[in-house]
Every structure is written in structure tokens, then in C-alpha cells.
Amino acid sequence: MQEYSRFFIGGEWVEPAGTGTIDVVSPHTEEVIGRVPEGTNADIDRAVAAARQAFDHGPWPRMTPAERGEALGRLSAIYAANTQQMADLVVAEMGSPALFAAFAQSAIPQMVLQYYVDLASSYTWEEERQGMQGPVTVTKEPVGVVAAIYPWNVPQFTLLLKLAPALLAGCTVVAKPSPETPLDAYLLAEWVKEAGIPDGVVNFVPAGREVGAHLVAHPGVDKVSFTGSTLAGRQIGEVCGRQLKRCTLELGGKSAAIILEDADLATTIEGFKLASLMNNGQACAAQTRILAPRSRYDEVADALAAMVGGLAVGDPADFATEVGPLVARRQQERVEDYIRIGQDEGAKLLVGGLDRPHDRGWYVAPTVFGNVTNDMRIAREEIFGPVLALLPYEDEEDAIRIANDSDYGLGGSVWTADVEHGIEVARRVRTGSCGVNLYSIDPNTPFGGFKNSGLGRELGPEGLEAYLEYKSIPRPA
């Protein structure tokens, strides 16, 4: 049991303003494994004031990028030495399978941090241009105080996607972890302190939605960076629009995996273990619509059902586990509702269904629906669980049409023996990323969504620019 009674604000551990607490419950045992104070609006006010003070009067925005890179390098080194501890924590909090968590919930977030440490020296922070009347210095300044609001499914990854570039840019941050996963933020806060990042540069207040909304609308916040559902993203975008506050939105997805005629089926189906079912299917970019050519439909259906039916479902702490429990009972029920919806819509249950694999813990049987048409809700809506929809297509044009017939535009993939041709197909898919024979998100490459999957990009130099304001300083020749 990990218990915390204070918040990390202004570089100190401070008493909460309220008396509420958040219980962290193991999705595997359903037992309480941690407790933290629940943030209130007053705690947010205090955290924004600390971040404001650190931005307006503290050293951080005035340090050179190299100096900030050095401080972040210390944090990165502490992180690198403790990735397993972080992974174990996220496994316990939200049931991510240990093998997946070892890289996605800790090693990759640390790589993202290290990427921005390295970018400090190679990025062009300032340049001279020749203007009409004389030289112009074009420089970049930090946008200010950043609110980082992120979900429970990959908490460290989604946090570091914001924190690392924001800090390198010279911003200060108030981070709001989700109530399901506050413990990993506490561990990171300890490392921030140990790394000697100046007081008030990073602040954490775990809290629910309403307090999150207070943070978004707070006049002391200059920019909101949000990862979460499209519904919440719209609300946040509206508030930011009214206030002309900068915002980056990373939202939901319903990504398509297009299996081309020439694909090697064995490696393709194996690839779906990660591309489609990573993190128990709780991944924004999961490839949950599988598009198979009609000529190979039966073969694909059999192979997919055999793979999904054979997955090891159980204790997420076991490295042999391939699918663990869902984050909460409400998520288990939501995913089961979608299984009922799929049956009611006339899709064919190929494997899985409503029989729970374990009595205790929030498990759902990994499920595949066949004969899905793209107008069904199970093909259009984000389920956020281990439920796949298999759709037949007639020819390549039809496959691209189906892939693009979605309100979302986050990820996607093309599976083929002809990589060059796969790239051509990927170019025609209207999403922020589309892999060929894999799906991956790289620290040096922009990640984000078209359409209802969001606004803006994270990662790469593009992800840093989201925290910078350009400034031109012209003068006479």
C-alpha cells in the first residue's frame, strides 16, 4: 500500500486544501493498493501560482536551452536507472501487462525525455534573417505556464510527451494525473526534486474532471496540452478558443490495419498482438479495424481468431501475460456493452464474448467480430478494450475508402510483401501516422491526429514548437 498525504507544488510537499482522497485499486485483485489526496480547485490555484512565479520570476525560462538540457539530463539519468520501478508501479495501478509496461510505460517515456535532452543542442533556437530595412533576429520564447492533462492508459508516456518538450522550451508545468493512476506521478515528482529542477517548474495535482476543467480555464495558464477522449477534448478546445489559449489535443482513434492481398499472414497476425491489442486494447492508436481482402477473408478470420483465442489472459505482473485486466469496473462494463452491441448489430462473434476469463479482476475475454460493416457502432466508436472488428473489402480502393471513412484520424497500418507499395497506400490514409508492417511511435517523429483525433503534434522538433512562441526583432541596417 502506497500512501501519500501531500502534493508536490512549488518544489515542496504541501498539505492539500481539501480532505478528499483518491483510492488506487488494483484491476487484478480489486484491492486498494494506494491512496493520494484528491486535488481541489484551491490546490490547482496554488499550483498555478507556483508555476506562474517560477515562470515570471524564476531562473528556468531565463536559463539557456543547454542549461535546461543539462538539468533535464539529470532527470533522464535518474529515470533511466529506475525504469523497472516505474513500470512495476504502472502495472499495479492500471493492469498493463509487465512485458509491454517495461518499454511503453517506462523505458519509452525515458527515451522521450532523453530525446529532448539531446535536442537542446541541435535545435535552432534563434536565427538572423535579412529583412526589408535591416537584419531581423527571429527567436523563440517559451509559451508560459502549461497545464498538462493526461489519461490513465499510458500515464508516463502521455505525460513525458508534454513535460519533456515543455520544460526544454522553458515553460513551467502544472500536471494533472488521472485519478486511476496518480502513483507514478509521485515517483516522478521525487525524481524531479532529486534532479534539482528549480522549485515551481513542475507541479502535480491529481484530481478528477471538474478540477481539471478549473485548471484549463485558469487565467494563469497560457497553454493546455491534453490527451484523452474526443468528448473532453472538444470541451477543452471550446474553453481555450474563447480565451485564445494555446492548446494541443491528442484524442481518440479507430485505426484501420489494411491487410493487402500479398501480405504474409503469419507475420501480419503476429504483428497485431502489439499493433491491435497492446495494453489490453487500451491504446488510442490501437489498430482495431482489421481490413481483409474478400479473397482471403476466411483465411484471415481463422488466423485472427486462433491468435486472439490463444492469448494468455491473466495477472499483469506476470511477464508471460499477453492481455491483462481493464483499468476499472466501469471500463469492463463499457467494453462488454460494446460486445452486446456488436452481437445486436449482426456481426459474427468469431472468438471471445461475454464469458469473463477470471471471476476476480476486471477482465474481458479478447474478442473478434467478423463480417463487420463500417457503419456498425463497433466499427465507428472507440471501444478501448481487447475487441477487434474484421471487415472484408473488395479491392485496394475499397480498403482505402473504408479506412478513411471514420470520424477519427490517428493511426493506421498497411501489411504487405511490397513495402514500396505499402508506403503508397499509407500516404492515402488520412491519419497522423500509418505504419507499414508494424505500428510504432518514435520519439523523433511527430505524432498526432487528423480529424476528431486532435489538434497539433507531439514528439520530434514539432512537439517542441508547440511550447514556443516565435518573436521577430527587426532593426535598421
Catalytically active residues, by annotation: 250
Binding mask 157-196 for ligand NAD (x = CB under 6 A): -x-----------------x-x------------------
**Candidate list 10, 39, 212, 342; residue touching ligand NAD; CB under 6 A:** 212
By CB under 6 A, tell whether 369 contacts ligand NAD: no
Site for ligand NAD in 326-365 (CB under 6 A): none
Residue 203 touching ligand NAD (CB under 6 A) = no
Residue 319, judged by CB atoms within 10 A of its CB (0-12, 13-18, 19+), counts as exposed
User: 374-393: which residues touch ligand NAD (CB under 6 A)?
Assistant: 382, 384
Distance CA 428, CA 424 (A): 7
CB 326 to ligand NAD: min, Å: 11
Indicate which single residue of 209, 401, 421, 430 sits in contact with ligand NAD (rule: CB under 6 A): 209
Distances (CA, A) of 411 to 187, 246, 290, 374: 31, 24, 13, 17
Write phi, then psi, for 101 (nearest 5 degrees). -60, -35
CA separation for the pair 194, 177 (Å, rounded): 20
The distance of closest approach from Cβ of residue 454 to ligand NAD in the complex, given in angstroms and rounded to an integer, is 6
Per CB under 6 A, 153 contacts ligand NAD: yes
Rounded to whole angstroms, the Cα distance separating 371 from 338 reads 16
Nearer to ligand NAD, 79 or 226 (CB): 226
446 binds ligand NAD (CB under 6 A): no
* Residue whose entry in the numeric block shows the C-alpha cell 482513434: 253
**How distant, in Å, are the alpha carbons of 23, 95, 99, 275, 460 from that of 107?**
26, 17, 11, 18, 17
- How far from each other are the two terminal CA atoms of the chain, in whole angstroms? 67
Among 54, 247, 284, 303, binds ligand NAD (CB under 6 A): 284
Considering only residues 235 to 264 of the shown chain, the ones binding ligand NAD according to CB under 6 A are 235-236, 250-253
Residue pair 257/289 in contact (Cβ under 8 Å)? The answer is: yes
Q: Of 49-57, 164-172, 232-240, 268-276, which segment contacts ligand NAD by CB under 6 A?
A: 232-240
- Could you tell me if 321 and 312 are in contact, meaning their C-beta atoms sit under 8 angstroms apart? yes
Q: Which residues bind ligand NAD (CB under 6 A)?
A: 149-154, 158, 176, 178, 208-209, 212-213, 216, 227-229, 232, 235-236, 250-253, 284, 382, 384, 410, 449, 454
